[in-house]
Amino acid sequence: MPSRTRSARHARRHARRRARRMARVEHDLTPTQWAVLQEVWAGCAYCGGATGSLQRDCLLPISRGGRYTLDNVVPACASCNASKCHTEVTVWLRRKGLDERAFLVRHAALRVVVADRLADQGPGAS
């Protein structure tokens, strides 16, 4: 029983820390922007998997000064998001042996596509 209590306390403490970090920064990613990001990436930004629901993943983690913004968020599968955790994206890509350059080039190209799609939707979309 003591280990369950200890792990429950640890989980609550972690949740409180995350809530404090989240409250300290302003997040401006709108639901419309998130929908366009998911549509344009058409799956996990890291592994390309399109199964299951996608999660918002910050390229620069919130714990390291990032926030949920259009330029800092990509869709990620639960596996990639959990693996990346609070690591900066380029460090994580290198550690996993993924093609860092290909990801960054694709990210830059898709940022333009996202901006165009949001501009087409009008001023209320972004």
**Domain assignments of the chain as residue spans, ordered by start:** 27-120
Res 21: pLDDT: 58
**Per-residue pLDDT, 12:** 78
Average pLDDT over residues 72-80: 94
Lowest mean pLDDT among 24-28, 81-85, 101-105, 112-116: 24-28
- Tell me which of 103 and 67 has the higher pLDDT: 103
Contact call for residues 59 and 41 (beta carbons, < 8 A): no
pLDDT digit string (tens) for 1-58?
466 777 778 777 766 765 665 566 566 899 999 999 999 999 999 999 887 789 999 9
The beta strands (E) that lie in the chain are given as 55-58, 73-76
Confidence at residue 32, expressed as pLDDT on a 0 to 100 scale: 94
pTM value is 0.75
* pLDDT, tens digit (0-9, with 9 covering 90-100), for 96-107: 999 999 999 999
Taking CA 28 as the corner, what is the angle to CA 26 and CA 24, rounded to the nearest 5 degrees?
10
Question: Which option is the CATH number for 27-120: 1.10.760, 1.10.3210, 3.40.50, 1.10.30?
Answer: 1.10.30
| Confidence at residue 106, expressed as pLDDT on a 0 to 100 scale | 96
Residue 110 to residues 25, 41, 50, 56, 57: CA-CA distances in angstroms? 25, 7, 17, 16, 16
Q: Cα(57)–Cα(37) distance, rounded to whole angstroms? A: 11
pLDDT at 14: 64
